[in-house]
């Protein structure tokens, strides 16, 4: 009961970026997740000024438990990213990661998974089904969470990956498109919507089941990873 209460209170505190230790004045050497101890103490006391505020990356949103999306994170956003405790970043551009970002992920022990998808405009023929499936597999593996997906603007490549993820979650296409358009706004590309619509999740579902079966060590019950066989 008490454990449950503390857990609930911790969840509540996460919303405020305040740690239990901050509140009950327990001294501790914080490791991870407590980097902003001093700032949060002031925030908790209502002394929030503009210099202490957190700036999420542009076009930032939470996709699902442990999954976030955004445009390209700048150094000004690193403080906010710290608060997410990221384990993985899925980076969808072919360009090398800028030095500041590479330093950041290295210093935080974040795994960088790059899937270089060309960002050129229509015709949008450069996203291969296999690349998208590989990115989805990284995204779906909870051992990689919390995970941030980003490209340059968080509109097209990120929108396509999230769109495919929503199809796996059995969302109606209308809802998938609405979410895509909320992030792409005036930059919506019909070719992206076509890509999402055409993306065949059935082979991906089998791949997923295979991963889950193997994860549970169910041996003979495991389905094979079907997506290489099925992709044409």
Catalytic residue list contains 151: yes
Q: Which two tokens stand for residue 211?
A: 């991963």
- Quick check: helix, strand or coil at residue 37? helix
Residue 126 Cβ vs a copy of itself, minimum distance, rounded to whole Å: 26
DSSP helix/strand/coil, 147: strand
Q: At what angle do helices 201-215 and 129-140 cross, to 10 degrees?
A: 40
Residue among 53, 93, 113, 151 flagged as catalytic: 151
What is the Cα–Cα distance from 203 to 200, expressed in whole angstroms?
A: 7
Q: Pattern of binders to a copy of itself over 78-117, x per CB under 8 A?
A: --x-------------------------------------
**Quick count: other Cβ atoms within 10 Å of Cβ 146?**
17
**Contact residue for a copy of itself among 152, 168, 191, 210 (CB under 8 A):** 168
Cβ burial of 120 (10 Å; 0-12, 13-18, 19+) is: exposed
Minimum Å distance from CB 149 to a copy of itself? 14
Which token pair is 38?
């001093």
Q: Which residues bind a copy of itself (CB under 8 A)?
A: 5, 8-9, 11-17, 23-24, 39-40, 43-48, 50, 52-56, 58-66, 80, 140-143, 145, 165, 168-175, 178-179, 182-183, 185, 201-203, 205-206, 208-209, 212-213, 215-216, 218, 221
Q: Which residues does the annotation mark as catalytic?
A: 151
């Amino acid at each position: 009961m008490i454990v449950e209460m503390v857990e609930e209170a911790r969840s509540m505190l996460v919303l405020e970026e305040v740690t239990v230790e901050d509140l009950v004045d327990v001294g501790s050497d914080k490791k991870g997740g407590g980097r902003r101890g001093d700032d949060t103490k002031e925030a908790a006391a209502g002394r929030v000024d503009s210099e202490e505020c957190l700036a999420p990356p542009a076009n930032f949103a939470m996709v699902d438990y442990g999954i976030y999306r955004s445009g390209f994170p700048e150094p000004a956003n690193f403080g906010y990213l710290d608060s997410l405790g990221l384990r993985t970043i899925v980076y969808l551009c072919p360009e090398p990661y800028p030095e500041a970002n590479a330093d950041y992920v290295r210093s935080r022990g974040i795994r960088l998974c790059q899937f270089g998808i060309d960002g050129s405009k229509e015709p949008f023929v450069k996203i291969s089904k296999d690349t998208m499936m590989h990115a989805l597999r990284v995204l779906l593996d909870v051992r990689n969470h919390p995970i941030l997906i980003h490209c340059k603007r968080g509109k097209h490549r990120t929108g396509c990956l999230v769109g495919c993820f929503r199809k796996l979650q059995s969302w109606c296409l209308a809802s998938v498109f609405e979410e895509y358009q909320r992030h792409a706004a005036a930059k919506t590309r019909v070719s992206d919507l076509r890509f999402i619509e055409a993306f065949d999740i059935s082979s991906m579902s089998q791949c997923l089941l295979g991963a889950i079966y193997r994860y549970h060590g169910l041996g003979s019950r495991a389905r094979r990873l079907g997506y290489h066989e099925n992709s044409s």
